Structure 1
Amino acid sequence: MDAQFVAVFAVIVVALVFDYTNGFHDAANAIATSVSTRALSPRTGLLMAAIGNFVGAHLGGQVAKTVGSGIVDLPTGIASLGIVFAGVVGAISWNLITWYFGIPSSSSHALFGGLVGATLGSIWLGHDGEVLWTGILEKVIVPMVASPLVGFLLGGVMMLAIMWIFRHGNPRKLNRGFRYAQTVSAAAMSVGHGMQDAAKTMGIVVLALYAGGYQDNTTHIPEWVFLASSTVLALGTYSGGWRIIRTLGRKVIDLDPPQGFAAETVASGVLFTTSQLGLPISTTHTITSAIMGVGATKRLSAVRWSVAGNIVVAWILTFPAAALIAVVSYLVVRPLF
């Protein structure tokens, strides 16, 4: 069997493994608030999130093109496949570490950090390749900083608007109505998550096909790549990442249905907008910051800032930690590619 084919196949397999871990790691993004407010049962929420991820994956082509061509520039050849393989291993490793401790970190930034780390490791050893620092600044760092701020501010504004509009409403009736409304907002969040996160795996698969010489650009996404990525992400989501769901649903703040609706609506709106612009942002950062913003409108002490602080530390560590793991992974797998 051709060595190039085996290398491409290995990268695609490990990319789909990442896709699966992304699904169960980030399942909380779509349903934690709805489950915590009892708007949805856990299994119903996971099924809806899986379907939403599958649908959204087919709408995230712009983000996939950014991942495939805007982060690193690699020449064709089997050596580049080793870089991509090691980068994805770095991302998977960090996903599993943060999942084990129930920390809602960013699978997206773990992937970007892994790719950058493996590429730098290759460059240090004298191989070809380039990290596109301008692209990382514009398409990763700036959105990484901006999306939590936007999520926090819009979450607060949305919640204040709901409180004012329904200030004379019956609390019991309002909670019942917003539980129904959360079905819609959680579905939108699921689609937005699919648009962002399935697209990142598609970008990796396309990058592998390009590096392996199976297509001549990193912008065309074959239909089977859409189908494989969306299916695996949906399966991972349905398996459920309960540790992180508990963190987002209860440990940051005790949400009520209006708060859950506000957080999900804001987060899904940000995801839809950035997906259309081709900006690969973190769904985890977006929904978590929206939850914090919504909670802060009640009173600042309603947010458990010690838990929030631990989450922010994990956000900061994700990119360099995944990059470091990827460097080590590259040194291990280099003889195989």
Structure 2
Amino acid sequence: MELGIVIAVVVIALVFDYTNGFHDAANAIATSVSTRALTPRVALAMAAVMNFVGAFLGQRVAETVAEVITPPEEAVAGLVVVMAGLVGAITWNMITWYYGLPSSSSHALIGGLVGAAMGYGLLHDAPFASVKWDVILDKIIIPMVASPLFGFAVAFLLMLAIMWIFRKANPHRTQRRFRFLQTISAAAMALGHGLQDAQKTMGVIFLALLAGGYVSSGDPLPFWVIFSAAAAISLGTYSGGWRIMRTLGRRIIHLDPARGFAAETVAAGVLYTTAFAFSAPISTTHTITSAVMGVGATKRFSAVRWGVARSIVMAWVLTFPAAASVAAVFYWVAHYLIEVLP
């Protein structure tokens, strides 16, 4: 029975990784497509390849995700907790994808794991015992708040610098050059997305293997876990997320190539820094969206469609509790079916 549940959890984790890919495909390429620097299919193919490569660049984010909760010692209960966390994340991903809102798959996953762990804890009169709150605060909450603020501010300043440097240049020639540079910045953004988001699925699969007793806490990630997570997010990215792409590329603000390049460059830099320097699983969605708002604000603050931005921020705020709630309910239902029913 335990092996069957482990296989089911791994499959669900890869389904989450796939939904993460098509949900977040817009992160890397929406600005390049909207400025016509890349055609949609070329952009998706490039993003898929770079996602796959990025997944092999490190494992520190995966280690952080695996530390978010302590699975119950009972193997079946631990596996059901991880499964419930994934179901909560997938559910929220699908809801926000349907409405075209660029919410965070990362925070949906973390919220789902925390909600499932607390759901287990409530049944054992210790709702907070299985959650590592120091890891949540230091590597989830603080980076979650800081990264979009930093992305907005740095993107705003970088765009001001670009405007000043090229203030006397021929506008048409300048935008043509930045359209070429966007190919590089979009590739860097896609590489950062693979580095960050594929590792989160690796961490969850490792949690499932840990709960099932197939690995120990100090073991390295098996190669098949890394490869399968990389392949799943790459395939998901290639399938595309057109609803969210429209929101990021057009509905927040109409971007030109220079602003698209600035937003992607800043967002990619934030992804690399947080992954390598802080092992923090930040949201690629939050980072690129805030960077887009930052470069857009250099036109004038009214150029940013703040009503759309408000809806996005609302989705950000709801992500953690919504995914946690779904995960907790799923855990209770699964617990009842496994433990109570004959």
Seq. identity, %: 63
Counterpart in 1 of 2:79? 81
Distance 1:14 1:218 in 2: 24
Match of 1:50 in 2: 48
Residue 56 of structure 1 and its aligned partner are, at CA, apart by 0.5
Distance 1:183 1:24 in 2: 20
- Residue in 2 that maps onto 1:286: 287
Structure 2 contact 72–130 (Cα < 8 Å) conserved: no
Identify the residue that residue 265 of structure 1 maps to in structure 2. Answer: 265
For residues 157-236 of structure 1, the aligned pairs below 5 Å read 157-217=157-217, 220-236=220-236
Residues 61 and 196 of structure 2 are in contact (CA less than 8 Å); yes or no, is this contact kept in structure 1?
yes
Contact 2:151 2:288 in 1 (8 A): yes
Look up the match of 1:72: 69
- C-alpha spacing 1:90/1:41, structure 2 compared with 1 (3 Å): same
* Cα distance, 1:218–1:288 mapped onto 2, change above 3 Å: farther
Query: What is the letter of the counterpart of residue 130 of structure 2?
Result: E
Q: Which residue pairs with 2:249 in the alignment? A: 249
The residue identity in structure 2 corresponding to 1:336 is I
Q: Residue 301 of structure 2 aligns with which residue?
A: 300
Structure-2 change in CA distance of 1:36 and 1:218 (3 Å): farther
Rounded Cα–Cα distance in structure 1 between residues aligned with 2:338 and 2:166: 62
| Distance in 1, Cα, partners of 2:10 & 2:218 | 15
Q: CA contact under 8 A between 1:151 and 1:287: conserved in structure 2? A: yes
Q: CA deviation at 1:19?
A: 0.2
Scaled by the length of structure 1, what TM-score is found?
0.97
Alignment partner of 1:336 out of 322, 335, 338: 338
Q: How many matched pairs?
A: 334
Is 1:117 aligned to 2:115, yes or no? yes
Shift of residue 336, structure 1, vs aligned partner: 3.4
Distance 1:326 1:192 in 2: 28
Q: Separation in 1 of the partners of 2:218 and 2:328?
A: 24
Map 1:27-38 → 2, pairs under 5 A: 27-38=25-36
Q: Is the 8 A contact 2:103 2:316 kept in 1?
A: yes
Q: CA deviation at 1:328?
A: 1.1
8 Å contact kept, 1:68–1:218: no
Distance 2:194 2:25 in 1: 11
| Alignment check: 8 A CA contact 1:60 1:198 kept | no
SS in 2 for 1:72: coil
TM-score by length of 2: 0.96
Q: What code does the residue aligned with 2:6 have? A: V
- 1:148 equivalent to 2:141? Answer no
Q: CA deviation at 1:75?
A: 3.4
Assess if the C-alpha contact under 8 Å between 1:210 and 1:218 holds in 2.
no
**Displacement of 1:218:** 5.6
RMSD: 1.1
Q: CA deviation at 1:59?
A: 1.3
Q: Secondary structure at the match of 2:214?
A: coil
Instruction: Give, in whole Å, the separation in 2 of the partners of 1:133 and 1:280.
Output: 15
Distance 1:315 1:15 in 2: 22
Q: Give the drift of 1:217.
A: 1.3
Q: Any stretches of 5+ residues in structure 2 without a counterpart?
A: none
What is the CA–CA distance in structure 2 between the aligned matches of 1:258 and 1:211, rounded to whole Å?
48
* Whole-Å separation in 1 of the counterparts to 2:325 and 2:173: 52
- 8 Å CA contact 1:91, 1:107 repeated in 2: yes
- Residue type of the alignment partner of 1:293: G
Contact 1:60 1:194 in 2 (8 A): no
Q: 1:137 to 1:315 in 2, by over 3 A?
A: same
Distance between the aligned counterparts of 2:317 and 2:105, measured in 1?
A: 13
Structure 1: unaligned runs, 5 residues or longer? none
Task: Quote how far apart the aligned CAs of 1:219 are.
Answer: 5.2
Q: Which residue number corresponds to residue 92 of structure 1? A: 90
Aligned to 1:130, the other structure's residue is in SS state coil
Find the aligned partners of 2:203 and 2:302 in 1 and give their Cα distance.
41
1:236 aligned partner, one-letter code: G
Instruction: Return the alpha-carbon distance in structure 2 between the equivalents of residues 133 and 142 of structure 1.
Output: 12
Q: Deviation of residue 90 (structure 1)? A: 0.2
